[in-house]
Structure 1
Amino acid sequence: MDENNDQKHFILVHGACHGAWCWFKLETLLTSAGYKVTSLDLATSGIDPKQVEDLHSIADYYEPLMELMASLREDEKKFPEKVSVAVFISAIMPSPTNSVVNIQEEYERIQAKPGMERNYWFGVSPSPDKLAKQYQKSPPEDLTLATKLVRPIGFYGIVDMMKETAVSEEKYGSVKRVFILCDEDGLMKILMSWIIENSPPNEVVKIPGSDHMAMM
């Protein structure tokens, strides 16, 4: 985002199995307020034509985001200098000392506890009942929309994930991070609290009464 308030540029990145479509409410609010907004589909998401079997690494999945960041004008910030603040909304937030793989392993441990349901859906779209755990506080029509538009996400091995998602203190660590905690997240609230504790952001903001899909 640029530093001038009237030139702030919000890049909206969706979560697993979703697409740019999930930001339709927030994007409308931001553009109505005069901000520049770009929402994009990661590979195999939304209306992106690629299928899961077309991807060979997690880098292939987030390539559209890297291409977008590289295309921003020279008078906009360059990444990591192109990013004024990274906002994580109930999302995996790694750090140089707490990798995506570590977070994934912790999620596995949480789901292995008695009474916890496994929620991974690699290679298949989440079923309506599992989606309902993400949208339990959202308007029912938004859940209906999601059941029509979610797509499978690929599974990538630990070696690939360690290599392609590693972050450094020099670059990643130079960007301010804000975490949005949804206090009624029925899907990942326990993991989110663990992430905040183990990868402390610059600021934590809580949205009372919000489920995992805060943008809805």
Structure 2
Amino acid sequence: MRNKPWADGYIKAHSDYIVTDPKNWLGKWQDRFEKKQPLNVEVGTGKGQFIIRNAQEHPEINYIGVELQKSVIATALRKFMEAPLPNLQFVLTDGADLDEIFLADEIQKIFLNFSDPWPKKRHAKRRLTSPNFLKNYQKVLAPQGDIEFKTDNRGLFEYTLVTMNHFPMTFDYVSLDLHQSPENETNIETEYEEKFSPNGPIYKLIAHFNS
């Protein structure tokens, strides 16, 4: 996304809903919500459609959307501010730092939606389902907490199946064509998913770490 000149000012003006110093909130995230409730986190929240709709449909859960790109998260924040919700916060930070901003076992679910596939082999460690990222997720996920992963990239999906299987993790759900499955009735789409799903299948899995 192109740089948004208004992003800095907009983020500063809405600091009640977005955090730019996440390490200072370690152990205090629930203080930012109206109620203390189970916490779900989306890594790479993009323009916000997915996490906003989840927060709307599940007021009994608190949500945090993590995004590294300032212009992108500012766009999500502006969309959110059209009808603010008490159970959603945004965090401007790198998803690789989850274990530095959340306590052990603090998160119930992590969403990974249409992450950058980093197709070149030498960039594999940057993939959000690489072993190093999985180690970080394991630290912050509660026992039996899970990861929900969606992509339209077959190579990234196959890579993720392998890395999670070897970790090891247990697969609770695997679909090679989500939009043609019964589960699609409750599927919440991202902006990217809406735009590109006509071009091919959407792959999804849900998995948890073995205890």
**TM-score range, shorter-chain basis?**
0.3 to 0.5
| TM-score scaled by length of structure 1 | 0.38
What TM-score comes out, normalization by structure 2 length? 0.39
Task: Compare the two structures and name the one with the higher strand fraction.
Answer: 2
If asked which structure has higher relative contact order (CA below 8 Å, sep 6+), I would say 1
